[in-house]
Chain A
């Protein structure tokens, strides 16, 4: 019932957008990262149908059968969005979220909905690639960690198949038990892939970039070892794999963003149906591997406010006067110049940190010059 209602909503949205001529923001699952609180949610409280963006039956079925995992899905979206904002801090496009927008980032990540007015919408840009990959990676990360914590019954122990049958013991499947990234990756794959089943170029790009995000988690596992022989010697050594910190993964994906491969869309007619597929634009470059990001449309310069392409513009953004980098006023303000304003800010200083939850600080007042773009 609720499912049907949802579909009608979607249909209505599309029709509405066709009439008004505005490109619709397609709702995305990662809105969970902004709407749900970080605390433990009872799984019963989240309805799969209430998650925006879960369009087809396949993903809804998967979601229903994994309802208990939804808090971790929300957590994955949250860390993905947060990491994106950290990585793009001080850039023209700073991964800012739009309040009340179900696609979170505005049109940057708009799923391609073909309608006649906006053929040239920028939907396959580098930014899209980055956001997709970091969210897929965030999902792997949060699910794997929840598994390591023992929150869920169907995961927890990362065990290779061959080890299981050695001991005829039902309750204990032995073998190395590192963080269950394989489960996390499988979950991420099964949750995200059905959302991009189209034969359109954008679907292919999303699938590839999601997988790239997962591969980055899988390929950057860190091996930790600890010797514990009786005398501190390495007579007995235990090694285990652990995931790199999400900041590290974000850094790696940022590098991949900078070196993303540009593709071109080739159209192929198959049984009278038009099928799109992506090919590297420059054949003399190395082909992108499974953990490289791909894109096929150039990014806008993000200088002006243009919701059609997901650009919020840089007007009013704070910039760094002394920097010659992208966060410098010159580049960030796109040559429009900047305003200078002197503000007095109250800040915490001389902080003494007590782990976890207390930061004992004094309050100091500091005078700043704040530069904002015109």
Chain B
């Protein structure tokens, strides 16, 4: 007779080979982000209104000043200076292969004894326009007025030295569809109408700004969708695609069990969960980002976030249901209600994060310069959502750990009774114990690897930045880790699919046997349960010590293992 676990041997090897391919690809994957520094050109806008785009160079370049000393000489007021950045650099064009663009603003502020900066905030007016090959298309966004706090670094009491200013987030574009991007920034000085009749003096205390830099950071589409690795190894894609696309089909067998009239009712929940997990993971792996190569989809980042959130939620639900079904206690677990606390926690966390994401990314669809973090109330609200999600996740993991603990206790106790079992039943339970242990160890391994990867990527981000190694292959560890973790969890789900999908070969054997041999495998325990229920505890059983209430306080009713799932219903 074949053990229920012989089948995974082949699947594990294929999973591992996929894992190897993934990680070798990951090492040669591109950098996760490509920073690109642009120094702003100072254009002159005599109207002080930013009503038209100011191009720093090329056709129709603006009139410009080299530095502020020249502006002083020419008596150009500060308000009419427009900082203009055209991206990418001269002679280049933006590629659609980039998925999104994040802009960071750094100000070069010189120390001056005469200037006292107290809580300096800079007030910006920003516009952006895009350009295609045909020429400048004034795809023009409304002028955005924004206030950003400059976090000042160390104060250097030396005239002429520069402050160490914190870079500011400037914009976030979810779609890089055009050839050129033009950003114009104005720092208006003087009274500004804030809209509701309130007037305020702006930009009076920001110090001697010498220059404005915009660093844009681009992330490749292909990195996000993981299929990008196929650029270096096209064949691997086929392997990968095969698995991910067919994941759900492995699982479609699960509902068939009912047709066979077998009693899979008890375990069907985890099977459906695995099925759903497979669908969600396939959805996550589907290279939806490739659509941005053809269409301009500004909502792509939002969609990716939602996809990712859905896969997390599904994975969390799967864990709780899987562990719950190995509890084998008296509680009827074949309904969602049994897990309501954990599901509620997951749901709340997801909803909180979704609400946050919708406000942040959703607003950026209309206004790429918007960020919740810029306004005080917005930051509080965002923090509230994140803390709520954090608390929920904490509660969830706590209860999950508790459940795992209970299952291990339970299994240990069962293993004592194994010897007195019929052979098949013993094998069935041994397999159950084995596969649960394997699952826990595998999950733990993945979790630990993720944490290690995360730490290493944070560390290597700094150390992988060398200016000197101009030549020779450069391995970008960060994206390696990034794809590595992604691949790891894909493998994890795949392995779960292979290992825990219902088998149509072994189980009928067991069930048939159960049907023909309706003996109770745990006579002693059954007896004991009887006794316990009638409050007449005898001391004849060696199991008594184990079953003593003081050992069982945290997880009650664990002991009721006398009726394994299949015999009860079958």
Contacts and interface: CB of A to CB of B under 8 A. Distances in A.
A226 B57 contact: no
B319 interface: no
Q: How large is the interface on B (under 10, 10 to 19, 20 to 34, 35 or more residues)?
A: 35 or more
Contact of B114 (A171, A247, A353): A353
Contacts of B38: 148-150
A355 B188 CA distance: 10
Interface in A216-249: 218, 221, 223-226, 228, 230-232, 234, 236-242, 245, 247-248
B161 A238 contact: no
Interface residues of A, number: 64
Interface string B331-363: 000000000000000000000000011001100
Interface in B12-30: 30
A357 B35 contact: no
Given A242-B213, A358-B189, A231 B90 contact: no
A226 B37 contact: no
Interface stretch (B252-260, B443-451, B461-469, B495-503): B461-469
A177 B94 CA distance: 13
Contact of A355 (B40, B167, B187, B305): B187
Contact of B34 (A40, A176, A237, A359): A176
A245 B162 contact: yes
B37 A242 contact: yes
A156 B89 contact: yes
Contacts of B219: 236
Contacts of A179: 37, 39
B204 interface: yes
A167 interface: yes
Interface string B505-545: 00000000000000000000000000000000000000000
Interface in A244-259: 245, 247-248
Interface stretch (A45-53, A158-166, A301-309, A310-318): A158-166
B104 A238 contact: yes
Nearest to B218: A174
Contact of B89 (A167, A177, A240, A353): A177
Given A38-B70, A167-B95, A358 B37 contact: no
B209 interface: yes
A166, A169, A238, A239, most chain B CB atoms within 10 A: A238
Interface in B212-232: 213, 215, 217-220, 231-232
B162 A247 contact: yes
A138 to B, nearest CB: 14
B66 A162 contact: no
A92 B521 CA distance: 102
A232 B373 contact: yes
B36 A177 contact: yes
Contacts of A34: none
Contacts of B382: 231
A86 interface: yes
B89 A354 contact: no
Given A162-B471, A245-B161, A157 B39 contact: no
B555 interface: no
B276 interface: no
A285 B341 CA distance: 73
Interface string B106-126: 101000101100000000000
B209 A356 contact: yes
A190 interface: no
B93 interface: yes
Contacts of B56: 149-150
A28 B150 CA distance: 42
14 contacts: A38-B66, A148-B39, A150-B41, A157-B92, A174-B95, A177-B37, A177-B89, A178-B35, A228-B102, A230-B356, A241-B465, A352-B204, A356-B187, A357-B77
Interface of B: 30-41, 56-57, 64-72, 76-78, 81, 85-86, 88-95, 97, 102, 104, 106, 108, 112, 114-115, 158, 160-162, 167, 169, 172, 187, 189, 203-209, 213, 215, 217-220, 231-232, 305, 356-357, 360-361, 373, 382, 386, 458, 461-462, 465, 467, 469-474
